[in-house]
Structure 1
């Protein structure tokens, strides 16, 4: 009888210990966040401080450096271009972004002519791309081009293509093809034009072709165009995958849509990677959900889970940083009824559930928190705040850009 009673008492003590640990978990996390925090100053267009030095050192020691962001923060693309410039000497030569491979190539070419080159690319609306219609994001592309003067193929587009289908179709039209393929391509062009006409008449985002188009249009084109070159094959793949991804989303199958998109992002990376040496260094800047290690905010395993494992296989390391706007700060958000960026609350709301971390920021400067020491503090049975758990284990550091500002639309007057 004594032994079972002793076991019960031990179990009760263990439960009490776990309860006490959970009760003080936030306090312990807050204290650790303060202890392992660094500041970054941004003055006269330059970054400095202990946090800046921390990031440079982390990047130099890593093969892959990843910035996972809340989109629309004006200061973040400035940080990204400054970090990349500082890290080029340690071997970084490629910059991966959240657009299609084809439009990344188009932006790389346009950036040779500076910001005016990108404006020229985007001005008619048929070749607009997500995110780079923000002035600061476009300037970042120009800055990267200037850092890598003369380089080719340095901008890696890993995503699908939401807005530039007409630009991609024009490229297909410029290529030699048989009569049946020409007919199928005319059908694709007609469907795209009609969809966009309905959009411009109604301002209903549901008529944007990437959300309303039928992927069978692309499949039938591919079947009739057997000798399409690699560029045409790549364009058809981007168009078909985009339509598939968004069709699933429209049908209410959000998880399936996110899974297919994550698979596309990983495959696009692999397509670039297969032609590079195993120790090639790559800098990533994408939405925070894509670059988190482990299961993402959309419940899939995205590129952020693949990259650390690849680094290990190569005998190297990776380092990822989550970037958030300052507490109470606005960001630029995309207005799909006007195809432009406007000031508003953060769209993806990555800061939700992270109050215990974001409250530990310094005033008057950006705060960088090294999350790695916080992992041992997280209780194994603490499931109350899943998002906090995800971020602490999924990111190596968190950067809160105190007093950050919203990005501006590229075509908005600067006066």
Structure 2
């Protein structure tokens, strides 16, 4: 990106402890925006890149990225398909590998993905130092692969490890690693992820989201405590990246980052990235400027081919007035959650590294 809007964004980012990109998952363009930020913030104290992925699976992929770049990440994904969220797309994997090769720390702060046990247990198998540990991990790993094969054949997740692993199997896995070790933490994070999924599939969405967001905030806090002088770029879903309450009725990680930045004597920058159109791989175009989209307040005829930046923070004093807030509730919510709105002409779907079953 270039131009006066790009300069304004960079200026605010360089003055911030944390920059958060609120995205619509699965498009190429937001990956390009992330890459642009990474390249331009490297000399401004930014040392870490956060993705909406599990901590342990991200660590495994980071090792692959440091070793062989994008090809290392892609090979790992192909060997254990559907084991990590979002990074199983080419453009997302390329951005992640780019961050790693630039020397950024790469942190995953979300729950572990439903299919992640195959990836994580496979990594733990390489670290097992005793026969007892190898036996426990091999048994769990076999169960995880059996569950995945059942899913591949039937489309059913009923035998997925995250659904079938019981207290006995978890205890066996926990007992073979020392308390406080990284390996023990990897098992504990899988167990928490199972609880999050369990609540969700029982229909207890609020408690599931609450536990998930608590986990995300705790993971981010632990990373910051270990690297107190580190500025961070976060690229996460738009529901999570804003200040205040999220659409899930949670004080989400975006709000947490804002408070942490303030506690450090600084501030955070929150940028929402949207597009006017979605262009499918077959060329079909879908208009994203709907009656419920915040873009409609900023869309003007004749500028559909241009990227535009809107400084939402400048609207807050107006939108804080009760009459205006009542008249434009969704615009008010947007302006108080995000500092800037970046509107791109088009989104194009990112390319899966492994074809998604239909």
Contact 2:277/2:285 (8 A) holds in 1: no
Which of the residues 314, 330, 344 maps onto 2:264?
314
- Seen in structure 2, the aligned counterparts of structure 1 residues 88 and 346 have a Cα distance that, compared at 3 Å, is farther
Match of 1:91 among 17, 36, 45: 45
1:380 maps to what in 2? 322
Residue 410 of structure 1 corresponds to 353
Q: Specify the SS of the correspondent of 2:98.
A: helix
**Which residue is equivalent to 1:110?**
64
1:167 aligned residue:
119
Match of 1:396 in 2: 339
In 2, the alpha carbon distance for the partners of 1:401 and 1:177 equals 54
1:251-330 counterparts in 2 under 5 A?
251-277=202-228, 279-324=229-274, 326-330=275-279
8 Å CA contact retained: 1:70, 1:346: no
- Report the TM-score, using the length of structure 2 for normalisation: 0.87
**Contact persistence 2:81–2:354 (CA under 8 A):** no
Correspondence list, 1:39-78, <5 A? 47-78=1-32
Alpha carbons 1:127, 1:166 under 8 Å: kept: no
C-alpha separation in 1, matches of 2:287 and 2:117: 27
Shift of 1:111: 1.8
Worse-matched range after superposition: 79-88 or 385-394: 385-394
Tell me how far 1:172 sits from its aligned partner: 2.9
**How far, CA to CA, are the matches of 1:299 and 1:250 in structure 2?**
19
| RMSD (Å), alpha carbons | 2.9
Tell whether the 8 Å contact from 1:370 to 1:396 is kept in structure 2 after alignment: yes
Give secondary structure in 1 for the equivalent of 2:49.
strand
Q: TM-score when scaled to structure 1?
A: 0.76
Which of 241, 244, 248 aligns to 2:192? It is 241
Higher Rg of the two aligned structures: 1
Instruction: Report what 2:101 is aligned to.
Output: 146
Shift of 1:156: 0.8
Q: Is the 8 A contact 2:83 2:117 kept in 1?
A: no
Deviations 1:210-248 (A, max 9, x none): 3x2346356423563362561211211221111111111
2-side partners of 1:305 and 1:346: how far apart?
Answer: 30
Cα distance in 2 for partners of 1:224, 1:249 equals 28
Distance 1:403 1:168 in 2: 36
Q: Could you tell me how far 1:189 is from its partner in structure 2?
A: 3.2
Number of aligned pairs?
347
Query: Offset at 1:411?
Result: 4.9
String of CA shifts for 1:58-103, please: whole Å, max 9, x gaps. Answer: 1111111110101112111111111111111111111111111222
User: Per the alignment, do residues 164 and 281 of structure 1 end up closer, same or farther by CA in structure 2, a change over 3 Å counting?
Assistant: same
Question: Aligned pair in 2 of structure 1 residues 183, 307: CA closer, same or farther (>3 Å)?
Answer: same
Residues 113-140 of structure 1: CA deviation (Å, up to 9, x unaligned): 1221112111123573111111111111
Give runs of aligned pairs for residues 86-235 of structure 1, distance below 5 A.
86-112=40-66, 113-126=68-81, 128-148=83-103, 154-162=105-113, 163-174=115-126, 175-177=128-130, 179=132, 185=137, 188-205=140-157, 207-210=159-162, 212-214=163-165, 216=167, 219-221=170-172, 224-225=175-176, 227=178, 230-235=181-186
Distance 1:226 1:80, change over 3 A: closer
Aligned partners of 2:249, 2:95: CA distance in 1, in Å?
Answer: 30
Distance 1:66 1:351 in 2: 26
Q: 2:299 aligns with which of 339, 346, 359?
A: 359
Q: Is the 8 A contact 1:108 1:155 kept in 2?
A: yes
Unaligned runs of at least 5 residues, structure 2: none
Provide the rounded CA distance (Å) in 1 between the counterparts of 2:246 and 2:166.
Answer: 27
* Partner Cα distance (1:146, 1:96) in 2: 15
Unaligned runs of 5+ in 1: 1-46, 333-342
Measure the CA separation in 1 of the matches of 2:179 and 2:82.
22
Q: 1:141 to 1:314 in 2, by over 3 A?
A: same
Question: Residues 214, 271 of structure 1: CA spacing in aligned structure 2 closer, same or farther, 3 A cutoff?
Answer: same
